[in-house]
Chain A
């Protein structure tokens, strides 16, 4: 088969096609990120009161286990355990989540449904958040892709300075149906995809902010948003039960056992 003669690319293509696509993509990326930042909730550290309550009570149980030495005798510690056991009974804990007594009874019969309850509570808003996130990513990309396709369809914008095998044709020559064309020629739409995936170093150079670069890269590569923490993992009831189990088996070592001798030794 005769070799395909090398194509002569108009140098104006670089200025009027290659550069505009790259510049537009960089600018749209930065613009989208700034728009997103405008909508971003301020990073407050105020936790929800219900979660705070859980954290505080779990923390208190852990503190009791850690500082068991402040009790004089095991019976004092065990008295406290009995109090906690009563306080953190299933009903007492769950009524913060489920107000309806019937639902509470059902939940009591099958505690594993707790996760379903929590995910039901959060699913509506979660869907909305995902929808908004996806719209923010898809709309600009679709618009740019349409723009590239409309103006520069079937354009060869550049030739790579090295040879590639034919397997790269599908990647570098999207939308071009030329079997004999060498794989090192890049079409406009492929240049768009290459930019989409590989602009992070340009963003790093322009923005000089690693956090923002990661954010833009994640947006463009369409990563899945993580699920809310409430939709999985152990239930509140399980967490408290596990802490109480630990509490139950704690053998206290009172700091008062030898305190008479210690004080006499220290100050006499």
Chain B
């Protein structure tokens, strides 16, 4: 069993209309069965109202299932009388950076979780220093959160979760309210935590670019998990994603359109570098076809290859700059 596992999970909430008597039962998620391995980087995709946040809140026992079961590190969330024990295993970062920072100084906020868990004072300080260093915010420790940028606030929120030493961090659209720089900051921090600290990361998002480095992707629609697999498997099915009102990464979309217009490209291209490489391969093939005889063509194609390599390199540099 993985760190987070659910079987036939379903959740109903009540929706109140204009009238008091007008109460509707709405099923937010239905029949969700997932199994997440420790140390994985998981992404959950879905458009608004697809139930991805509801699912996330189950992982943190903020919501308890109406039907089915959710296990976090082997604990059945519905049967645990002290829910905060579940919550310290799966920390959660929310969308709005302002609404989740409790302390009025960065380090006090990071210490809030350990305080609640009853960690001794000295240990709180080591944990705070450690987690602020991990997210690269140690030099802002004395500042008021109001003076930080959105990306920095979100990193503080992540540090607050890291200080609780969870096995797993659930991030519910952590970049939705940030500018591109802030998004980069947060994503870099999260993937570093995943790689270096082996923390299981569950990233909920609707930005496709954030998903391509994940180990496993779940796609949700109207409460169900409709697709799952590696990013490449998911993004190979551009038509299906479009039907679910989801975008694909720009590069994948470009490759898809090129393929539709007759260029021989494989499915599921995820990065710029891959596309460049594939296009080079295709162009070489096309060039070598009409002049397949004679040594001259080989020479030119060799020359092409070299220049192509140079172009690829410059492209890579551009990529890292971004």
Partners in one complex: no
A: which residues have CB within 8 A of B?
Answer: none
B: which residues have CB within 8 A of A?
Answer: none
